Amino acid sequence: MKNCVDQLCPKCGLCCNGVLFGDVKLQKGDDTRHLAGLGLPLKKPAGRPAFQQPCACFDGRLCRIYADRPIQCRAFECGVLKRVQAGELDAEAALRKIDEARKLADKVRELLCRLGDRSETLVLTQRYAVVMRQPIDLSGPEEAAENRGALMLAVNDLMHRLQRDFLK
């Protein structure tokens, strides 16, 4: 089981980079002072303390505080990992699914940049919402409207893939 995690998770990171989740709520038993001291910026909305995604402790490949990560992070296993652990999917097929999802997320990021959004510290869905709230300038360049349409389709494809492969 650990071998699956070691093989798949460093190639993925979707649970830490703001693609799958917007924030992570801390659980009873999480040491908020210790986590904050490790560099995890916490916020306390109504309810439990939480931290925003993309996670400040994720270096793009690995968690810098893996041994001390919050309970919610320890407990989460994506659908791809679960299927590999259950023997329903081999590691090679899992890596292809991860690669496909990452490419879709990269396409969404690229389109967001083309449309003027470069907020790498915001969750991908928040970035999308900001861009889509902007009024459409019908007298503007045709490329902007095409990019906006392409963004809508790319987000749809990504969300479908995430629901099917990672969140079940």
pLDDT in tens, 80-108: 999 999 999 999 999 999 999 999 999 99
β-strand 23-25 against 50-52: which pairing, if any? antiparallel
pLDDT of residue 85: 95
Residue 17 and residue 142: Cα distance in Å, rounded?
32
- Residue 87 burial (10 A CB sphere; 0-12, 13-18, 19+): exposed
- Report CA-CA distances (Å) from 25 to 49, 63, 73, 86, 135: 6, 17, 10, 28, 33
pTM for this predicted structure: 0.90
**Where do the domains of the chain lie?**
90-168
Instruction: Provide φ and ψ at 50, rounded to 5°.
Output: -150, 170
